[in-house]
Amino acid sequence: MDFSDAVERAARNYGHLPNIFFIRDDITKTKFPDSCIDYLNCDQTIMHTQNPDRAFAELVRITKKNKGQLACYFYAKKALPRELIDEHFRSQCVKMSRTQLWEMSEQLAELGRRLSGLKVSFNAPNIPALGIKGGRYDLQRFLYWNFLKCFWNKELGRQTSVVTNYDWYSPSLARRYSRKEVLDLIKKNGLRVSHFYQEDACYSGRFVR
Ligand SMILES: C[S@@+](CC[C@H](N)C(=O)[O-])C[C@H]1O[C@@H](n2cnc3c(N)ncnc32)[C@H](O)[C@@H]1O
């Protein structure tokens, strides 16, 4: 399920498979009855809704009571400077045309490429008040995690690097969660954690109703 035409593209690519339905609809108010889905997987989507907690509750509602499973992915909060820049930046990005946004994404990828090309790494100090984790960093990765999304990955190539920047700044809504916020949400919805995974960019898990 997706409310954009992405679902139609997916149906064109995979419609030949016998056991898949492609539904163009809003995950925040699905028309499914309560407790009807054995296993529900929601990847990188609730954060783009107006009220992600409410979207999550809707997914819980349709997951089967008594051992139905819900897998979900949450964007993680980054260091404070990056969060502040992202928040302000996103409010400016909605005013840009798609072309301008693409150009900016190319510039960010180019910035990442040049920083990465310096081949500088250093030991950053721990600065807990700003959420900056100390340790050995490449300069581009340090700026990336703590200040500005200037994604660049040589192996993935220029196009994918540009798309990754575009994909981050184009949605007008993209909530980030702390670990505590995710776990509180799981608890509030009466779910049990079956599997929990975390890395710098995200939290994800499988939760049992
Ligand atoms: C980052 S993409 C993830 C797409 C896909 N789940 C994946 O993992 O590749 C976010 C998707 O959420 C969709 N989306 C955002 N809000 C939605 C909503 N309320 N209902 C359904 N889809 C929504 C967007 O159209 C977009 O395709």
Domain boundaries, the chain: 6-77+176-208, 80-169
**Size of the chain, expressed as the number of residues it contains:** 209
Tokens read off for 196: 């929990």
pLDDT of residue 8: 95
pLDDT of residue 167: 93
pLDDT of residue 156: 97
Q: Which amino acid is at 29?
A: K
pLDDT, tens digit, for every residue of 138-163? 999 999 999 999 999 999 999 999 99
pLDDT of residue 74: 98
- Tell me the CA–centroid distance for residue 167 and ligand 1, in Å: 11
Fold of 6-77+176-208: Rossmann fold (3.40.50)
Tokens read off for 208: 């049992």
Tokens read off for 98: 């798609």
Phi-psi region of 141 (alpha: psi -120 to 50; beta: other; left: phi over 0): alpha
Strands 69-75 and 202-208: antiparallel
Q: Which amino acid is at 36?
A: C
Spell out, as residue ranges, where the chain has pLDDT lower than 50: none
Name every protein residue with a CB atom under 6 angstroms from any ligand 1 atom: 1-4, 6, 26-28, 43-45, 48-49
User: Considering the entire predicted model, what is its pTM?
Assistant: 0.90
Q: Whose CA is nearest to atom 9 of ligand 1?
A: 43
Note the Cα 122 to chain centre separation in Å.
Answer: 28
**Nearest atom (ligand 1) to Cα of 6:** 27
pLDDT, tens digit, for every residue of 191-209? 999 999 999 999 999 999 9
Four-CA torsion 50, 51, 56, 58, nearest 10 degrees: -80
- Tell me the CA–centroid distance for residue 11 and ligand 1, in Å: 15
